[in-house]
């Protein structure tokens, strides 16, 4: 399965392009950009971009444009296309749904749940951009990025489980 590409755009419109990370190191970036929102995410990705990077033809792509009027940090634009084993994956998903919804289970059969469905490979590939958020300063952007992309420690997991 191709990972869903969700791009968060970190922008600084006041202050510099440096921040302090959790270890006290100064982090700088030359890749900040001040943009005027709203910006339609579908203007940032095209069929030709997808077809030039993935093994798919333009006629197989389906555009999904999740945009509302005005800027929303939830706006996104994606292209999807069926995988080569689409039917097989779709049947597996249907089986899990039917099994999890079935009131009567055969004795000895493996019980499935909707979480099993969430763990399954999707029958479609997807490339997505959007969910842009504008930050007032680099420190806010760094903190948000660190929170989203760090792997929790064992101590963090124990605390969460409490």
pLDDT tens per residue across span 116-161: 778 889 999 999 988 877 788 888 888 888 888 888 888 988 888 8
pLDDT of residue 134: 78
Report whether pLDDT(16) > 60. Answer: no
* Verdict on whether the full-model pTM lies above 0.75: no
pLDDT of residue 85: 95
pLDDT tens per residue across span 17-70: 778 877 788 888 776 767 666 567 888 889 999 999 999 999 999 999 877 665
How is the chain classified by DSSP, letter by letter?
A: -PPP---PPP-BSSS-SEEE-TTS-EEE-S-----PSP--GGGS--HHHHHHHSS--GGG-EEEEE--SS--TT-EEEEEEE-TTHHHHHHHHHHHHHHHH-SS--TTPPP--HHHHHHSPPSEEEEEEE----BSSHHHHHHHHHHHHPPPPHHHHHHHH-
pLDDT of residue 3: 37
Q: Give 26 or 73, the one with higher predicted confidence.
A: 26
* Residue spans per domain, the chain: 1-81+126-162, 84-121
């Amino acid at each position: 399965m191709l990972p869903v590409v969700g791009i968060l755009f970190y922008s600084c419109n006041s202050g510099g392009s440096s921040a302090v990370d959790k270890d006290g190191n100064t982090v700088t970036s030359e890749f900040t950009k001040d943009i005027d929102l709203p910006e339609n995410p579908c203007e940032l990705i095209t069929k030709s971009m997808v077809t030039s990077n993935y093994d798919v033809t333009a006629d197989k792509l389906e555009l999904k444009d999740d945009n509302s009027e005005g800027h929303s940090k939830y706006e996104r634009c994606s292209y999807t296309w069926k995988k080569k084993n689409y039917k097989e994956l779709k049947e597996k998903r249907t089986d899990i749904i039917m099994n999890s919804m079935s009131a009567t289970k055969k004795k000895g059969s493996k019980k499935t749940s909707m979480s099993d469905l969430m763990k399954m490979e999707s029958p479609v590939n997807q490339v997505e951009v959007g969910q842009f958020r504008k930050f007032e300063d680099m420190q806010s952007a760094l903190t948000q990025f660190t929170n989203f992309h760090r792997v929790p420690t064992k101590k963090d997991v124990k605390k969460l489980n409490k």
